[in-house]
Amino acid sequence: MTATNKLDLSSYYRLNYNEDVPHIIKYMGSKRNLMGFVVEGISEVYKGGVVCDLFAGSSVLAGALRDQVPILSNDIQEYSAVLAKTYLGDYKWSDNTTLIEDVVSKASEIVKQFKQSYPYLYFDYDRPFTLDEFIKLEEEQRQLVNEDFSKFPYHLFTKNYSGRYWSYDQCVWIDSIRAVADDYKGTPYYYAIISSLMFAMSYNSQSTGHYAQYRDATSVASMNDILIYRRKEILPFFIRKMEEFKQKFGRNQLKHVIVSMDYRDCLDILPSGATVYADPPYCFVHYSRFYHAIETLVKYDYPEVKYKGRYRTDRHQSPFCIRTQVAGAFEAMFSKIKQKEANLVLSYSNTGMIDLEKLLKLSQKILGSAYQIDVRLLDYQHSTMGRREDKSRDVKECLVIAKTQ
C-alpha cells in the first residue's frame, strides 16, 4: 500500500494522551493499548472544536481526552453511552462523601430480602465437587428461568442468567446493585454505578471475556477453571472500581454530547469542520452478540432472550460486519464526512472485512482532492478473546488520516 501526500505537521493542535484511564470492561478490539497511536493521529488533523468518536465501543477515547476537548461520543449500543458518560462525567464527590457506602448498604438490604423470600434457593460452591455434582448444581440454577420472582421488580439476571455466565448468588447481587443505581438517575453517579457493575460482571463471569456463550464443564479441568469464577463475589469488584472512579474523576465542565445512533445519523448532527475518529467493526462477528448482557443491564427491559447464549432477539446487525455491505457502509461514511468538511482518522486492520488497498482507494475516490490522505501502519498483536487455537494474532493496525486541504 502506498500513501498519498504527506501531511504538513507544522501547526497542528497537540492533544495529550491520558494514559491513566480506568479500565472498565474486557472488550474485543479495544484500542486501549493503541491509544497513543490513535491520539497522535487525531492530533495531526485536529483544528479545534468537537472530536467525534463515531463507533465508541468501550469509550476509552473519551477517557483519554476527557478534559481536553468537547467530545461527541456515539455508538449504536447503549452500554457504550453509559461508559462514555462515566468517563466524561462532572463529579462533585465532596457533596457525596458516603455514596459508595450508601449504595452498598441499600444493595445489601435488597439481597437480604431477596434471599429471605426464597430460602430454598441455596447453591454452595465452597466445597469439593465431582464433575457430575458440579454439572447438577449448574443445571439447578439454569432452571430458575421457570421460577416466579415477580415480587421483586429487579430479578432479570437472577431469572435469565443464573448458572450460566454467573452463579445465582452473583446474579442476585447484579440485580440488587442495578436496582440501587436507578435511585441515582439524572446524576453522573448513575453511570459510575452501572459501569462499576459492568466491571464486576466482566471479572466474575465464567465466559472468556465476552458474553457470546458461557462455558460448560466437560472435564474436571474445565470445572476447576469455572469454579475460580463461581467463587468470586460481585461486591468487592464493584467497590474497587467505584473507589477508583472517585480517585481519578473530578470536575469536567466541557460540553460533551453522548448519543446512541446509527453512525450515519450521528454524522448528520456533526458540526461542520469537526474531527472524526472512526473505529468500525473489522470482522464478521457482531458486537451485539458479544456484549448483549451489558446491553441488557443498561436497558433492563426484560427482553425476549433465546438460545444458549441468552441473546436478545433485537440485536443490532452492523453493515461493517457483512461482506456484501461493508463497501457501501464505508462509502456512506466517507460521503457524509466530506459533506461536513470534517477531518478523519480511521482505524482498520489488514484482517478486516475489506482489503486495506481497496479501502484506501475508496477513501481517495469519495473524499477526492479536497483531502490530503496519509496512512500509518503499526504491527500489533490482537486478542481473539479466548479462542483456543489462536488466543492472539499478529496484525497490522492501520490509521487512514484524512485532512481537509
At 393 the pLDDT is 54
Query: Helix %, strand %, coil % for the chain, to 5?
Result: 45, 15, 40
At 288 the pLDDT is 64
| In-domain check, residue 22 | no
Residue 177 near residue 234 (C-beta atoms within 8 A) = yes
| In-domain check, residue 242 | yes
User: Cell 446491553 sits at which residue?
Assistant: 295
| In-domain check, residue 311 | no
Between helix 188-204 and helix 168-181 the angle, nearest 10°, is 170
Distance of CA 15 to the CA centre of its chain: 23
Distance separating alpha carbons of residues 9 and 7, to the nearest angstrom: 6
At 11 the pLDDT is 45
At 386 the pLDDT is 45
Q: What is the pTM of this model?
A: 0.92
Find the radius of gyration of the CA atoms of the chain: 22
Residue 304: name the closest of 294, 290, 288, 315 by CA: 315
Distance separating alpha carbons of residues 245 and 198, to the nearest angstrom: 13
Q: Tell me: do 271 and 161 sit in the same domain.
A: no
Distance separating alpha carbons of residues 22 and 91, to the nearest angstrom: 15
Distance separating alpha carbons of residues 215 and 236, to the nearest angstrom: 24
Domain endpoint, select from 228, 248, 268:
248
Count: domains in the chain: 2
At 388 the pLDDT is 46
| In-domain check, residue 10 | no
At 177 the pLDDT is 99
Q: Tell me: do 98 and 241 sit in the same domain.
A: yes
Residue-level pLDDT, tens digit, the chain, 405 residues: 444 444 444 345 789 888 889 999 988 877 888 999 999 999 999 999 999 999 999 999 999 999 999 999 999 999 999 999 999 999 999 999 999 999 999 999 999 999 999 999 999 999 999 999 999 999 999 999 999 999 999 999 999 999 999 999 999 999 999 999 999 999 999 999 999 999 999 999 999 777 888 999 999 999 999 999 999 999 999 999 999 999 999 999 999 999 999 999 999 999 999 999 999 998 866 666 778 999 999 999 999 988 888 888 887 789 999 999 999 999 999 999 999 999 999 999 988 999 999 999 999 999 999 999 999 999 865 544 444 444 455 678 899 999 998
Q: Which domain, by its residues, includes 223?
A: 93-248
Domain endpoint, select from 248, 267, 289:
248
Q: Tell me: do 127 and 224 sit in the same domain.
A: yes
Distance separating alpha carbons of residues 27 and 245, to the nearest angstrom: 19
At 110 the pLDDT is 98
- 3 state SS for 78-119: HHHHHHHHHHHCCCCHHHCCCHHHHHHHHHHHHHHHHHHHCC
Q: Tell me: do 232 and 277 sit in the same domain.
A: no
Q: Where are the beta strands (DSSP E) in 296-370?
A: 305-306, 311-312, 343-349
Q: Tell me: do 185 and 275 sit in the same domain.
A: no
Q: Tell me: do 384 and 265 sit in the same domain.
A: yes
At 287 the pLDDT is 65
At 286 the pLDDT is 62
Give the domain CATH number at 391. Answer: 3.40.50.150
Residue 254 near residue 73 (C-beta atoms within 8 A) = no
Domain endpoint, select from 248, 264, 299:
248
Distance separating alpha carbons of residues 27 and 57, to the nearest angstrom: 8
Indicate the length of the chain as a whole number. 405
Question: Does residue 343 sit in helix, strand or coil?
Answer: strand
Q: Tell me: do 132 and 183 sit in the same domain.
A: yes
| In-domain check, residue 191 | yes
| In-domain check, residue 226 | yes
